[in-house]
Amino acid sequence: MAIVEVKTEITGNVWKIERVVGDEVGEDEPILILESMKMEIPVSAPESGEIVEILVEEGQTVTEGTVVARIKA
């Protein structure tokens, strides 16, 4: 088992966190939603696994490349 970091691809605000620690996610399933320039952009799991850490809070501003979660794949 490996720990996989979930990173943002854009700068924006964390609009909504859709999953919690302990949830199982499939590859490409959204973990949270960013808001940028009035658009909602999902941040999805790069691999299937269990969410072991959420590193951001709703309302927080993140930049491109920010690690927002970790998954045990």
**SS3 per-residue string spanning 3-44:** EEEEECCCCEEEEEECCCCCCEECCCCEEEEEEECCEEEEEE
**Structure confidence at residue 55 (pLDDT):** 98
**Residue 72 in domain:** no
Q: Supply the CATH number for residue 18's domain.
A: 2.40.50.100
Q: Quote the domain boundaries for residue 41.
A: 3-65
Q: What is the dihedral of CA 42, 3, 53, 23, to 10 degrees?
A: 70
pLDDT in tens, 18-62: 999 999 999 999 999 999 999 999 999 999 999 999 999 999 999
The answer to whether the beta carbons of residues 22 and 36 sit under 8 Å apart is no
Segment 5-14 mean pLDDT = 97
What total number of domains does the chain contain?
A: 1
Per-residue pLDDT at 1: 77
